[in-house]
Amino acid sequence: MLDYSKWSISELITHVRDLEQSEENRRRQREPLPYVVEIENPITWAILFDYDVNTLFSDPSLYVRQHLLQQLWHWDHIEDDLPIVSDIPAWLGYYPEYTFLGMDVQFNRKGVPVISSDHPISREANLALLEPVDFYHSGWMPRALRWYDDVSGIVNGQANVTFLTWWRGCLDLAIQLRGYENLMLDTMEDPKFVKALLELITSERNKWHAACCKYFHIPLKLASIGDDWINIPFITPDFFCEFVLPCYKEIEKHHGGIESVHSCGNLTAVYQYLLELDGLDVLEVSPWTDLEQSINIIPPEKELIIKLSPGDVLYTAQGTMEKQLRNIAERTRGRKIQVRTSGLTIESKLDTSFLQQIQLWTDTAKRVLR
C-alpha cells in the first residue's frame, strides 16, 4: 500500500481520479453491489486518523485532505464493492437541517453530536415560534455557503465539489423540536397541531431545496429522506400513515419522486405505506426490521438494501456470518439486493481486530453472495 503522508492535495486528487477510471472501479460502477462496508462517518475516521472533528469542519485544507485519505484508506484496506468517486462533498455532518429550524448542534472531539432539545416550541405548541427558513441566513447556512467556497478554493477545479443537503425528514425534526413525549401527547390532544407542524417543516424543506437549486443553477433531484424515528413501536403504523405519509407525498410531488427513505428503526409494518410512493424502487431493510416479513410485503421487482448491525461484522465468528449471509441469499433468491453493514465503529486506532473482522466478513460475503 502506498504511503500518502507526504502527498499534496493535488496529487491525492489525481490518484483518486485515476482509481475512479480504473477497470476495477468501472466494474463496481456497472455491476450490482452485493456487499458494501460502511464506516461510521466521522466518528471512526476521527479515531483512525486522530483528529478533532471540530477542527476538521473548520479547516478546509485539512477537510479536503482527510476526505481523500479516507477514500483511499477504504479502497486500500477493504475489499468490498464500494466504488471510489472523486466528487468532494462540502459536508458539515448529518445535522445542519436542525440549525435551520433554530436548534443548536455541537460535536465532541470524535464527532458525536449534541443537539439542543430546548427550542421554545418544546414548551408551547405554537407554530409562530418557528421562523421561516432563509436559504442565506438561517442556522448554519452562512457557514455552509462559506464552507463550500472555501472547499472549492482548495480543490481549485480539480474535482467536482458538492453542497450539503437537507436530508432529514419531518418526523425526526418535529420530535427534536417538540420532544418525543410532547409530540405523542399532541397526537391525542391536538392532532391538528401535529399535522400543521409536520406540514410546515416539509414546506420549508421543499422551499430550501428549490432555493438551493436556484443558487447553484442545478436541476431538482429525486429526494432522499432520513427519518430514524420511523421505528415501530415508538410510532405506530397508523401514526405514520396519518401524519408522515402525506408529507412524504408532498416531497415526492415537489421533487418528482423519492429515491430512498432511510431509518435505522423497525420498518416492517410501514412498508405498506412506503410502497404508495411511486418512485421508490429501492427499499432499506434495517438491522431491526424483520427480513422474512419484509420480503413478503415488498414486491419482488423492488431492490432491497439489507443493512446488518455492526455486531454482525465486528463481533461475530465466521460460521455465524456465513449462516446469516446464506439465509439472506436463500430468502432473496431472484431479487436484486445489496447487503450493507451499518456504520462500523472502532474503539481505538490500536484495535487490530477491526480490519481483521472486516476482512473475515468481506471474504465470507464474496463467497456466499457472488
| Span 243-255, average pLDDT | 98
pLDDT of residue 31: 82
pLDDT at 1 over 90: no
**Average model confidence (pLDDT) for the chain?**
97
The 10s digit of each residue's pLDDT in 147-159 is: 999 999 999 999 9
pLDDT at 279 over 90: no
pLDDT of residue 278: 84
The 10s digit of each residue's pLDDT in 78-108 is: 999 999 999 999 999 999 999 999 999 999 9
pLDDT of residue 219: 97
Q: Work out the pLDDT band at 196, boundaries 50, 70, 90.
A: very high
| Span 178-182, average pLDDT | 98
The 10s digit of each residue's pLDDT in 43-71 is: 999 999 999 999 999 999 999 999 999 99
pLDDT of residue 353: 96
As a whole-number percent, the residues of the chain with pLDDT over 70 amount to 100
| Span 295-319, average pLDDT | 97
pLDDT of residue 48: 97
pLDDT at 33 over 80: no
Query: pTM of the full predicted structure?
Result: 0.96
pLDDT of residue 125: 98
| Span 123-135, average pLDDT | 98
Q: Work out the pLDDT band at 370, boundaries 50, 70, 90.
A: confident
Residue 276 CA to chain centroid, in angstroms?
Answer: 22
pLDDT of residue 350: 86
As a whole-number percent, the residues of the chain with pLDDT over 90 amount to 96
